[in-house]
């Protein structure tokens, strides 16, 4: 761990916060458990009984199953795309470009934010893969780069741009048929992406946000003397593999075993069964994939960009991945590997759904939202919506899930103040993404890929969160809608 003694003021700030977070931050699963107790206590303070709170907790466990599956699909389809050989070759080329640690951190951050805007699942996994590969290449090329900050750069798509982009759950939910807001009469109709994701207000936020974050990452990069490279966190043999295993005492046996395996593989390849041929049929996989992609393309041709929703996004990326891999067996294997990366999310999603159930049924959500929006004016409301989302996201790190709970209160306040609902949704989405830099839930796949613990990198994530506050507060208020 680098010290906080040298460098500029902003570099020392990042190092000091990192030291404190590394000392105090629990694991992501324990983080969720602690938050459960905090919300339980908050519900008791409003006059709810312990048995009632347990009931709210249990009922909430199952309230996000559909949405959880949609989120898992976004993550898994993005993972499969990120590990396609074409994408891997592009990552290898891009990570060879930087000549120093600052350039490396900025490149990883910008790529993560841009790709996450296109597809947050792809951005999260690609950001992690790029960060690890950049760390590996920096080690090989003797470039000093601070690996914890590099991993935070790979997470910046989830910490800034994802909820303003093409797979943004709250904006897309508002344009999904039969959504809870329409069914409960909160809004009279769908809010199309032209009023949220593709509105000039949102596009300006995206461009300016990426530029600002890139500058902050550049300034945060520690001096060469205080960097911790990738081998401080990932064993070198895991990065480059062990050479000449046959030189060990069991070398001859290993060589013989490998030869037998090679012969078996050759025999299978020489005489594949009909089932194996079907499994690896590029024709069968390619046709159905092409059909799916063409169907989605036709939907967008007919309805324009306003056809974008969670369902169309998942459908499109599912079949785009199959189209790239073509052979069903290859895509299936990559999909299975991707599913393993979602284990932590699947485990914790019900806990956070339970937290949401306690917050919603106990009245905590309503008290929080009403307190914040009561101090708003039409000019300050976007910033207040951002802060509201940021606070709630710490307890319920599910952009669309928390929006279904807090959204009706926020929308009612926006309508009373005359604030456009598209702007309200985007401002809320900004806050939800922003505090992912404090909440480690969505970082779980990245932690697995990069070999990091949450406490190793979240000091710099928290520093980024703090340094983004003035920019977001001003931009949300000043940029016209």
End-to-end distance of the chain based on CA atoms, in angstroms? 44
Least confidently predicted of 282-291, 401-410, 459-468: 401-410
Q: What is the pLDDT of residues 106-127, one digit of tens each?
A: 999 999 999 999 888 788 888 9
Token pair of 123, please?
Answer: 């951005």
DSSP 380: T
pLDDT value, residue 44: 95
Higher pLDDT, 423 or 300: 423
Distance from C-alpha of 272 to C-alpha of 256, rounded to nearest angstrom: 24
Q: What is the pLDDT of residues 132-188, one digit of tens each?
A: 989 999 999 999 999 999 999 999 999 999 999 988 889 988 988 887 788 878 888
Distance of CA 195 to the CA centre of its chain: 23
350 has a pLDDT exceeding 50: yes
Token pair of 221, please?
Answer: 């990069």
User: Scanning the structure block, which residue is given the tokens 């992501």?
Assistant: 28
Select, from the ranges 58-72, 137-151, 309-323, the one with the highest average predicted confidence (pLDDT). 137-151
67 has a pLDDT exceeding 80: no
pLDDT value, residue 207: 97
pLDDT value, residue 336: 85
pLDDT value, residue 222: 93
Q: What is the pLDDT of residues 221-269, one digit of tens each?
A: 999 888 999 999 988 877 764 333 333 333 443 444 444 444 444 444 5
pLDDT value, residue 269: 53
- Residue 395 binned pLDDT confidence (cut-offs 50, 70, 90): confident
> What's the mean per-residue pLDDT of the chain?
85
- Residue 5 binned pLDDT confidence (cut-offs 50, 70, 90): low
The pLDDT of 420-445, averaged and rounded, is 92
203 has a pLDDT exceeding 90: yes
Please name the helix (run of DSSP H) or strand (run of DSSP E) that holds residue 289, with its range, or none: helix 282-303
Domain boundaries defined on the chain:
9-236+340-478
Distance from C-alpha of 436 to C-alpha of 458, rounded to nearest angstrom: 10
- Residue 286 binned pLDDT confidence (cut-offs 50, 70, 90): confident
- Cβ-contact 145, 134 below 8 angstroms: yes
Least confidently predicted of 59-63, 187-191, 243-247: 243-247
Distance from C-alpha of 5 to C-alpha of 12, rounded to nearest angstrom: 7
Higher pLDDT, 4 or 195: 195
Least confidently predicted of 37-46, 149-158, 228-237, 430-439: 228-237
- Cβ-contact 323, 288 below 8 angstroms: no
- Taking CB atoms within 8 Å and a gap of at least 24, the contacts of 367-372 are 367/46, 368/392, 368/406, 369/406, 369/409, 369/410, 369/413, 370/409
Token pair of 226, please?
Answer: 């205080």
pLDDT value, residue 3: 52
With a CB cutoff of 8 Å and minimum separation 6, the contacts of 409 are 365, 366, 369, 370, 373
With a CB cutoff of 8 Å and minimum separation 6, the contacts of 244 are none
């Amino acid at each position: 761990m680098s010290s906080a003694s040298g460098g500029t003021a902003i570099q020392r700030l990042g190092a000091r916060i990192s030291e404190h977070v590394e000392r105090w931050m629990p694991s992501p699963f324990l983080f969720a458990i602690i938050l459960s107790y905090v919300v339980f206590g908050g519900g008791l303070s409003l006059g709810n009984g312990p048995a009632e709170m347990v009931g709210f907790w249990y009922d909430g466990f199952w309230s996000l199953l559909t949405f959880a599956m949609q989120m898992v699909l976004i993550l898994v389809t993005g993972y499969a795309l990120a590990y396609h050989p074409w994408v891997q070759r592009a990552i290898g080329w891009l990570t060879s470009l930087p000549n120093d640690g600052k350039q490396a951190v900025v490149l990883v951050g910008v790529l993560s934010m841009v790709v996450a805007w296109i597809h947050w699942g792809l951005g999260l996994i690609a950001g992690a893969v790029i960060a690890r590969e950049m760390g590996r290449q920096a080690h090989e090329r003797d470039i000093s780069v601070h690996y914890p900050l590099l991993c935070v750069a790979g997470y910046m798509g989830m910490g800034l741009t994802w909820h303003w982009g093409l797979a943004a759950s709250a904006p897309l939910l508002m344009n999904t048929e039969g959504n809870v807001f329409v069914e409960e009469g909160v809004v009279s109709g769908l809010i199309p992406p032209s009023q949220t994701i593709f509105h000039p207000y949102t596009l300006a936020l995206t461009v300016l946000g990426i530029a600002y974050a890139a500058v902050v990452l550049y300034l945060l990069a520690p001096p060469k003397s205080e960097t911790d490279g990738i081998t401080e966190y990932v064993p070198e043999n895991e990065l480059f593999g062990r050479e000449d295993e046959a030189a060990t005492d069991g070398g001859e046996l290993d060589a013989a075993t490998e030869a037998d395996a090679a012969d078996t593989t050759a025999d299978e390849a020489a005489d594949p069964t009909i089932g194996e041929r079907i499994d690896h049929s590029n024709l069968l996989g390619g046709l159905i994939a092409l059909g799916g992609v063409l169907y989605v393309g036709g939907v967008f041709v007919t309805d324009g960009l306003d056809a974008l929703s969670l369902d169309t996004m998942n459908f499109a990326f599912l079949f785009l991945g199959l189209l790239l891999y073509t052979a069903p067996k290859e895509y299936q294997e990559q999909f299975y590997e991707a599913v393993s990366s979602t284990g932590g999310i699947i485990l914790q999603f019900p806990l956070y759904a339970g937290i949401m159930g306690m917050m919603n049924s106990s009245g905590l959500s309503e008290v929080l939202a009403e307190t914040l929006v009561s101090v708003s004016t039409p000019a300050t409301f976007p910033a207040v919506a951002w802060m509201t989302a940021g606070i709630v996201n710490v307890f319920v790190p599910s952009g669309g899930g928390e929006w279904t709970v807090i959204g009706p209160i926020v929308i009612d306040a926006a309508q009373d103040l005359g604030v456009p609902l598209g702007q309200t949704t985007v401002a809320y989405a900004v806050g939800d993404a922003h505090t992912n830099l404090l909440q480690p839930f969505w970082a779980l796949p990245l932690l697995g890929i990069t070999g990091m613990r949450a406490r190793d990198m979240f000091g710099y994530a928290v520093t980024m969160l703090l340094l983004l506050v003035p920019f977001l507060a001003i931009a949300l208020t000043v940029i016209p809608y």
